[in-house]
Amino acid sequence: MKYYDQHVHTDFSFDSQEKMEHYMRLAGDDFVTTEHLEFHNPDEKDQDSLLDYDAYTREIDRLKSVTGKRIYKGVEVGVSLGQEDKIREYLSNHEFDIKLLSFHQNGQFDFMDDKVKHMDPVEVTDLYYRNMWKEINAFHDGDVLAHFDYGVRQLNLTSGQFATTAGVLLTNIFKLAIRYDLAFEVNTKSMYRYHNIGLYDYAIEIYKQLGGKRYTIGSDAHKVDQFENHFSDAIAFLQAHDIHHVNVFRKNSMTIVPLDDVDERIKY
Ligand SMILES: [Zn+2]
Span from the CA of 95 to the centroid of ligand 1 (angstroms): 18
Q: How far apart are CA 203 and CA 169, in angstroms?
A: 11
Span from the CA of 38 to the centroid of ligand 1 (angstroms): 11
CB 149 within 8 A of CB 104: no
What is the structure's pLDDT at 251? 86
Q: How far apart are CA 156 and CA 153, in angstroms?
A: 7
List pLDDT tens digits, range 169-196. 999 999 999 999 999 999 999 999 999 9
| Nearby residues of 150 by Cβ (< 8 Å), 6 or more positions away | 102, 103, 104, 111, 112, 128, 190
Confidence at 265, pLDDT banded by 50, 70, 90: low
Calculate the alpha carbon distances from 128 to 73, 89, 121, 173, 258 in Å: 29, 26, 10, 12, 33
Mean pLDDT of 225-231: 96
What is the structure's pLDDT at 2? 81
Span from the CA of 158 to the centroid of ligand 1 (angstroms): 24
Span from the CA of 179 to the centroid of ligand 1 (angstroms): 23
Q: Residue 89 region, left (φ>0) first, then alpha (ψ -120 to 50), else beta?
A: alpha
Higher-confidence position of 127 and 1 = 127
Span from the CA of 184 to the centroid of ligand 1 (angstroms): 14
What is the structure's pLDDT at 268? 47
Span from the CA of 44 to the centroid of ligand 1 (angstroms): 16
Span from the CA of 7 to the centroid of ligand 1 (angstroms): 6
Q: Residue 19 region, left (φ>0) first, then alpha (ψ -120 to 50), else beta?
A: beta
Distance of CA 252 to the CA centre of its chain: 18
Q: Which CATH superfamily is domain 20-267 in?
A: Metal-dependent hydrolases (3.20.20.140)
Mean pLDDT of 139-155: 97
What is the structure's pLDDT at 267? 53
pLDDT above 50: residue 54: yes
Higher-confidence position of 262 and 35 = 35
Span from the CA of 76 to the centroid of ligand 1 (angstroms): 6
pLDDT above 80: residue 1: no
Q: How far apart are CA 163 and CA 140, in angstroms?
A: 24
What is the structure's pLDDT at 71? 97
Span from the CA of 151 to the centroid of ligand 1 (angstroms): 13
pLDDT above 90: residue 68: yes
Portion of the chain with pLDDT greater than 70, in percent: 97
Span from the CA of 61 to the centroid of ligand 1 (angstroms): 22
pLDDT above 90: residue 34: yes
